[in-house]
Amino acid sequence: MGTTGYGAQADQLAAQYESVTFAEVHRETLHLLPSRPSDVLDVGAGSGRDAAALAALGHRVVAAEPTGELRRIGERLHAGSGVHWVDDALPALPRLGAAGRRFDVVLLTAVWMHLPPGERPAAMAALAGLLAPAGRLFLRLRHGPVPPGRRMYEAVAAEVLALGSAHGLHPLLHTERPDLHGRSDVRWSDLVLADAAPAGAARS
């Protein structure tokens, strides 16, 4: 995954992430989160803003963040939140995959655009494999120019939906919205994909 530039800018990025709330960022999709305590995975968790908010709602949350500087900031900022942090990254998420745990919710916020197109089929396979039966995959896609010192690739909602469909995931929601930080050249897509298997079924 293209995490170039994130370690050197970790403090600045964490401040940016924490300047808006989980509810503000995910307002379009909050109604699709489970109301009961559930197993949640936040992939590319950054400063831990979303992971900590989900833990505060009573969920059992694992935060996967490959950039050590951001992971340490998140552990410090949200100490005592109950979030379990792991060093793991797309496209394979090998540590999480090896653990054999499945999640009712998998969340990716501003992560997909870091994956080169050639890695995205494997990434979707890994994400689908981590979903529990009837689980839901939440993605927030960034559209806009690449900031200096970063590595990003075009993220198209139709591509995500097609890759998800190949793994039995069907769309529940697709919305578009402007940038919360006021950047006129940046916009966002919110996608929620659901596993078609009934809850409690064995997932292949």
Structural domains of the chain ordered from first start = 36-195 (3.40.50.150)
Interval 134-162 mean pLDDT: 90
- pLDDT tier, 3 (very low <50, low <70, confident <90, very high otherwise): low
pLDDT of the residue at 111: 94
More confident residue, 197 or 29: 29
pLDDT on residue 2 = 47
Residues written for the chain: 204
Instruction: Return the H-helix or E-strand segment holding 135.
Output: strand 131-143
pTM of the shown model: 0.89
Are 130 and 93 a contacting pair, CB within 8 Å?
Answer: yes
Residue 144 has pLDDT above 90, yes or no: no
pLDDT at 32 over 70: yes
174-204 pLDDT per residue, tens: 999 888 877 888 899 999 999 986 665 555 4
Report yes or no: 53 and 29 within 8 Å, Cβ to Cβ.
no
The pLDDT value given to residue 115: 95
Report whether pLDDT(130) > 50: yes
